[in-house]
Amino acid sequence: MKVGYIRISSAEQNTARQDVIMEELGVEKVYTDKMSGKNMERPQLTGMMEFVREGDCIIVESISRFARNTRDLLDLVEQLEKKQVKFISQKESIDTSTSAGRFMLTIFGAVAQLEREYIRQRQREGIDIAIAEGKFNGRPKKKLDNFEEVYNAWKADTITASKASKLLKIARSSFYRRVKEYEEKQ
């Protein structure tokens, strides 16, 4: 059986491009995760790995959709090999049923991981420059119209910090940060 795996990093992204590839390749069953691939704790990936059996073939659009680092990629492929399941990455033309395919999988996995690390490094450098130039202030703060009212209730011990954060619809750590900022201004 041909089994497909699709992953996008967020719900706002679109699976259409990967869906088309799966359809063109005659994939019979598709598992789709809409979350980061930074680790292997993805419900659809787990479900697929449990579902596949000897003789099946897993197809992905590219190895970056399957795993984000070389170690995870090789671990997943090793699990598949133990189950005698073939792995194909369409973009890189990798087929693990051949020794050349297994070799290329390792090389492409390492290159993809290196590129992700370069992207993170360039992003960090850009942010550092923007901060130094006073152009980067981080994510805009959520507007809290009723903060003072909730703060006063919390200060008077009529509500807890947990209740205050729920009323403001922010995390408790954000509530404490806002309290500190508010008190410093007073």
- Provide the terminal-to-terminal Cα distance of the chain, rounded to the nearest Å: 67
Q: What phi and psi values does residue 86 have, to the nearest 5 degrees? A: -80, 150
Q: Which of 9, 89, 162, 173 does the annotation list as catalytic?
A: 9
Structural tokens at position 41: 């704790």
CA angle, residues 82, 56, 46, in degrees to nearest 5? 65
Active site residue 89: no
Cα torsion through 116, 44, 77, 53, rounded to 10: -170
CB 60 within 8 A of CB 88: yes
Give the active site residues.
Answer: 9
